[in-house]
Amino acid sequence: MAVYRAPTGNFNLFVNRLDDSLKSIYRANLNLIFCGDINIDYLTENDRKRHFDSMLQTYNLTAIVNFSTRSQGISSTLMDNIFIDNSKLSNYTVSSFFNGLSVHDAQLLIIKDINLQSQGYYVYITRNINNYSINELKFNLNHETWDCVLYCIVFGLNNNCDVDTLFNSFF
Domains of the chain (ranges; CATH) run 2-111 (3.60.10.10), 131-170 (no CATH)
Q: What is the pLDDT of residues 48-93, one digit of tens each?
A: 999 999 999 999 999 988 877 777 777 788 788 899 998 888 888 8
Question: Angle at the Cα of 15 (from 56 to 41), degrees rounded to 5?
Answer: 75
Q: What is the chain's Cα-based Rg?
A: 21
Alpha helices in 28-106 (DSSP H): 47-57
Confidence check: pLDDT of 100 > 80:
no
Query: Tell me, what's the pLDDT at 59?
Result: 93
Query: Tell me, what's the pLDDT at 75?
Result: 79
Contact by Cβ (8 Å): 107, 94: yes
